[in-house]
């Protein structure tokens, strides 16, 4: 049986404690909301746990269509969206446009494996979104989310 082994994406807070690695301190501000959009259940679930550990309320969507619906219903509570670039059906850039149509000030962080960055480079260069590559470490994710909350919205 060919077993998939998790890479750095699986470096969760609990794993860091077990290996005595330093941890990013938990934030003491109000609870933020994050919408995670990725077609991979493992990625969604790991991100949910990391974000909850850092006091985020979390919504999960397996595709762009469901992400837009979840955002419509929970817009007041969602501060940031973690959006996979390459998904079946509605792609990340199309989902990005639909979400921005609902809220131009919404913070969006694209995530993808290597080749996905070129698809969103124009948005990154314009300051419209942030980006991180999968696999990633949980402390890098929290750092990017901190940037998403502190960087002024373009426009």
Contacts of 152 (CB under 8 A, 6+ apart): none
Which of 30 and 56 is assigned the larger pLDDT?
56
Domain count, the chain: 1
Q: Is 154 a domain residue? A: no
Domain containing 70: what range? 31-149
Asked whether residue 16 is assigned to any structural domain, the reply reads: no
Q: What is the model's pLDDT at position 133?
A: 85
Looking at residue 13, its pLDDT comes to 38
For residue 114, how far is the Cα from the chain centroid?
16
Would you say residue 64 lies in a domain?
Answer: yes
pLDDT per residue over 103-135, tens digit each? 999 999 999 987 777 788 888 888 889 888 888
For residue 24, is it within any domain? no
Q: For residue 66, give the CATH number of its domain.
A: 3.40.50.2300
In a domain, 155, yes or no: no
pLDDT per position as a tens digit, 6-52: 334 433 333 333 333 334 444 445 578 999 999 999 999 999 999 99
């Amino acid at each position: 049986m060919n077993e998939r082994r998790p890479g750095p994406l699986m470096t969760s807070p609990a794993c860091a404690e077990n290996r005595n690695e330093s941890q990013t301190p938990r934030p003491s501000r109000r609870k933020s909301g994050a919408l995670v959009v990725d077609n991979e259940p493992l990625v969604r679930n790991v991100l949910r746990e990391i974000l909850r550990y850092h006091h985020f309320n979390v919504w999960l969507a397996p595709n762009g269509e469901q992400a837009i619906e979840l955002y419509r219903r929970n817009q007041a509570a969602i501060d940031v969206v973690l959006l996979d670039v390459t998904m079946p059906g509605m792609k990340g850039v199309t989902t990005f446009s639909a979400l921005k149509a609902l809220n131009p000030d919404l913070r969006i962080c694209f995530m993808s494996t290597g080749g996905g960055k070129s698809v969103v480079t124009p948005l990154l260069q314009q300051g419209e979104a942030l980006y991180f590559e999968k696999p990633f470490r949980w402390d890098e994710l929290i750092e990017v989310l901190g940037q998403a909350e502190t960087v002024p919205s373009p426009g």
